[in-house]
Structure 1
Amino acid sequence: MPIGIDALEIAIPDLYLDMTDLAVARGVDPAKFHIGLGQDQMAVSPASTDVVTLAARAAAAVVERADEADIAALGLVVLGSESAVDASKAMAVMVHGLLGLPEGVRAYDIREACYAGTAGLLTAVDYVAAHPGRTALVIASDLARYGLGTAGEPTQGAGAVAMLVRQDPRLLIIDPASTARTEDVYDFWRPEGESVPRVDGHLSNRCYTAMFARVFAAHREASGLDVEDYAALCFHLPYTKMGRKALAGVLTPEEAEARGLDHLHRRYDESLIYSRRVGNCYTASLFLGLLSLLDHSDLRPGDRLGLFSYGSGAVGELVTATVVEGFDSRRDPAATMTALDARRRLSVKEYEAVLTESLEPVGADISSTLLPDGGPYALIGMVDGVRRYRMP
């Protein structure tokens, strides 16, 4: 039976910083950010917006779009993130409570850097295959923060995606025959107790492109599929230029033109529309690109997509998906663009104050936080280590 994604929704903070403003403030040529990194805007999360609230917003959108019977059949809630707010309790359990989901489910988190969202999706596919008639809710939610004036500052961002996985999906069928590789390397890590990660940027870039080359070669050998068999290739996007480098490693623009495969580079550009305006959201980044592709490309039912997931440390996997008849009725591109356009643009001074405050320990009452989240879910404080949230 075909199993895959029936609904896919996004949640982003209500604030953003324009990359030109950041470049001017840091004494950098704006082209370094807009062209060198491929980023135009950066989502900014106030202290009242955390991984749980973003996850809840994305999951609530999926619940609203899903059939009532699919929510009643829910058996698994899994959340992939590298921005955990508790060392023991799963954020999936917190989201489950905020949304009032059915009690008879498994709920837990998965962690392996930016790969965790893909791990959650494949776990959900396996769960549905083993439990016919049940459904699964998969969430990927993260805050990418490196601190003011750091090398990683222009590659920050925040966001969440949520997916409903079921049999006979109406958006994408996931092929269970994916290809993965793992290598123990310290290209990006965050020691316990530290609020921002440590990064070896040059090593991480090399690991990413080398991992894609190895995974793609292994997948080609195992499946017989090569670049010409794909309608589009989507990538994990720490910044949008990164995936372009990986794609060029297996198919340069010149080779694509000579072989009549220009659509792969064109559709890569179409997969960047949301990411250029949001920035890095770790586990959700691959799926943000997938959403952009589905919303802005001329894909057709039956088209095969390649989805490359990468998590530093490092794990890489290539997943194959097939576009389903009527997929466009399961998305609302105008609503996503409206949400992006409705965000508040911060000055650099406001951004610096918001980021600094968001990295501080959560107090008992943060209702007076700078530029509080006006969405349906918000962090309002923490008492005795227990996080308290506002909900509808």
Structure 2
Amino acid sequence: MNVGIDRINFYTPEFYLDLKDLAEARSVDPNKYLLGLMQKQMSVAPADQDSVTLAANAAKRVVDGIDKDDVGLIIFATESSIDQSKSGSLYLQELLKLSNSARSFEIKEACYGGTAALMSACDYVRTHPNKKALITASDIARYGLNTPGEVTQGAGAVAMIISKDPNIAAISQDNEVYSEQIMDFWRPNYQKNAIANGHYSQEKYLEFFKTVFEEYINKNKSDFAALLFHVPYSKLAYKAFKIACEKIDPSTREMLKKRFDLSIDLNQKVGNIYTASIYLSLISLIIQDPSLKKGDKLGLFSYGSGAVGDFFSIELTDRFKKSIDKKTIVEQIKRRKKLSIQEYEQFFKEQTEIEAKEISIEQKTNLKDFRFLGIKKDQRQYSH
């Protein structure tokens, strides 16, 4: 029985910052961002969007048209949690009007959380073949104004329906995993913004990739149609891609490089979205490469600081081209409003100042989208 991604969708806020503008404001050569990091823009979340609303807006399209009673599992993957105890998935369950008979919980391991959710959902469907699982990977990457990590921020979410006989891709059970307790990136409970040991984290990302990729190709065929990576910023993913090229058939490198470039296109415009980054790359590749075909094997490297590295493969099924709403995804990138530096910094400050027990949030987002309305008596309020 094949189990995997039956539906997938992406959502990002309606605002973005051009990294040329950020470079100028921070007195940095723009090429440091555009070439050194291979990034162009980053989505910016207004105060009326949080990890729950980003996930809900991504998920509403993938649950539309299915029998919601069939969804027996809801997993919310994030490192931008809105509560220390309660799961964001329970808000999703309510907003999307999903069955109250579903298991519903949140999962966390830095940027690896989305893949942890995917693997857990596949295991669930294999033992409950008549059920489906909804998983969301949703994050707002924050490092602070005028910090080294500022340029690698972003905001967005990917939602997936996991089922048997999937329309998009079957998930292979060929994972190679390596985990180790390291301090490359973390966010203590008393902080809004993450702490990143940048150069060390980059070294560990590449080290973990090399470890799991070499173990994988020692046991499996390296007949990849494409290689996809977690993308904190595109240049780091490219460094991992070059390591992979040293281990695979040279005749495939040109094809793989073209597809790698397509896979990072959306990430270059949206920025780092933590748990969802690798699945945004999957969407980016599928909607832009008409040469992909049924049976193509894609290799994926997922990484979460702290740290876990996981390399696995998926196989495209016969309906993958018709099962992603390319038009909607492309249009939501185009419709974003460009922010000035002053507007961006104001958005950032408004996000960090949501501490009050009683607060009403000004609407910034389109009326059709789910929004965070504010807090009443310590309880978060959302539009339905």
- The TM-score range, normalised by the shorter chain, is over 0.9
Report how far residue 98 of structure 1 moved: 1.0
Task: Provide the rounded CA distance (Å) in 1 between the counterparts of 2:97 and 2:186.
Answer: 34
Residue 40 of structure 2 corresponds to which residue in structure 1? 40
Q: Does the CA-based 8 Å contact 1:189-1:199 persist in structure 2?
A: yes
Measure how far apart 1:85 and its partner are.
Answer: 0.7
Query: In the TM superposition, what whole-angstrom CA distance separates every residue of 1:24-58 from its partner, at most 9, and x where no partner exists?
Result: 11111111111111111110001110000001111
Q: Secondary structure at the match of 1:140?
A: strand
- Counterpart for residue 282 of structure 2: 290
Alpha-carbon distance, 1:257 to partner: 9.2
What secondary structure does 1:173 align onto? strand
Identity of aligned residues (%): 40
Q: How does 1:315-354 map to 2 (within 5 A)?
A: 315-354=308-347
- Mapped to 1, the partners of 2:330 and 2:314 lie a distance apart of 25
Structure 1 match to 2:265: 273
Partner residue in 1 for 2:360: 366
- Asked if structure 1 preserves the Cα contact closer than 8 Å seen for 2:40 and 2:268, the reply is yes
Q: Deviations over 1:145-200 (max 9, x none)?
A: 11110000000001000000000001000012211110110000001121001000
Inter-partner Cα distance in structure 1 for 2:12 and 2:259: 23
Residues 230-269 of structure 1 correspond to what in structure 2 (within 5 A)?
230-251=224-245, 258-269=250-261
1:124 counterpart residue number: 121
Say if 2:71 and 2:134, in contact at 8 Å, map to a contact too: yes
Contact 2:14–2:365 (Cα < 8 Å) also in 1: no
SS of aligned partner of 1:36: coil
Partner of 2:77: 80
Q: How does 1:17-28 map to 2 (within 5 A)?
A: 17-28=17-28
SS at match of 2:46: coil
Which one-letter code corresponds to 2:262 in the other structure?
E
Instruction: Write the deviation string for residues 100-140 of structure 1: whole angstroms up to 9, x where unpaired.
Output: 10111000000000000000000000000011211100100
Residue matched to 1:152: 149
Structure-1 residue corresponding to 2:202 = 205
State the alpha-carbon separation in 2 of the partners of residues 337 and 12 from structure 1. 11
Counterpart residue number, 1:165: 162
Retained in 1: the 8 A contact 2:62–2:160? yes
Alignment of 1:382 with 2:371, yes or no, is no
Q: Is the 8 A contact 2:9 2:325 kept in 1?
A: no
Q: CA deviation at 1:374?
A: 4.2
Q: Give the Å deviation of 1:376.
A: 2.0
Q: For residues 252 and 284 of structure 2, what CA distance do their matches in structure 1 show? A: 23
**Count of aligned pairs between the two proteins:** 382
Q: Distance in 2 between matches of 1:260 and 1:94?
A: 45
TM-fit CA distance, 1:375: 4.4
Give the residue type in structure 2 aligned to 1:45.
A
CA distance in 2, matches of 1:348, 1:131: 50
1:225 to 221, 225, 233: 221
Q: 1 CA distance for matches of 2:149 and 2:57? A: 27
Kept in 2, the 8 Å contact 1:378–1:389? The answer is: yes
Q: Distance in 2 between matches of 1:375 and 1:37?
A: 34
Q: Does residue 1:49 correspond to 2:12, yes or no?
A: no
Residues 241-268 of structure 1: CA distance to partner in whole angstroms, max 9, x if unpaired?
A: 111001111215xx98953431111100
Show structure 1 runs of 4+ deviating over 6 A. Answer: none
For the residue of structure 2 that corresponds to 1:4, the secondary structure is: strand
One-letter amino acid of the counterpart of residue 104, structure 1: S
Distance in 1, matches of 2:12 and 2:362, equals: 21
Are 1:362 and 1:381, in contact at CA under 8 Å, matched by a contact in 2? no
* Shift in alpha-carbon separation, 1:306–1:257, aligned structure 2, 3 A: closer
How far apart in 2 are the matches of 1:260 and 1:372?
44
Q: Distance in 2 between matches of 1:304 and 1:245?
A: 21
TM-score, normalised via structure 2 length: 0.97
Consecutive unaligned residues in structure 1, runs of 5 or more: none
CA offsets 1:350-391 (integer angstroms, 9 cap, x no match): 00111011111244233336x455442111111222101112
2:48, 2:362 within 8 Å by CA — same for their partners in 1?
no
Q: Is the CA contact 1:46–1:373 (under 8 Å) kept in the aligned structure 2?
A: no
Gaps of 5+ in 2: none
**2:66 paired residue among 58, 65, 68:** 68
**Secondary structure at 1:261's aligned position in 2?**
helix
Partner Cα distance (2:103, 2:375) in 1? 26
What is the identity, as a one-letter code, of the residue corresponding to 1:157? G
Aligned counterparts of 2:252 and 2:335: Cα–Cα separation in 1: 39
Q: How does 1:182-197 map to 2 (within 5 A)?
A: 182-197=179-194
CA gap 1:260/1:93 in 2 versus in 1, 3 angstroms: closer
1:3 aligns with 2:7: no
Contact 2:362/2:373 (8 A) holds in 1: no
Matched AA of 2:63: V
Are residues 256 and 3 of structure 1, via their aligned partners in 2, closer, same or farther at CA, if it must alter by over 3 Å?
closer
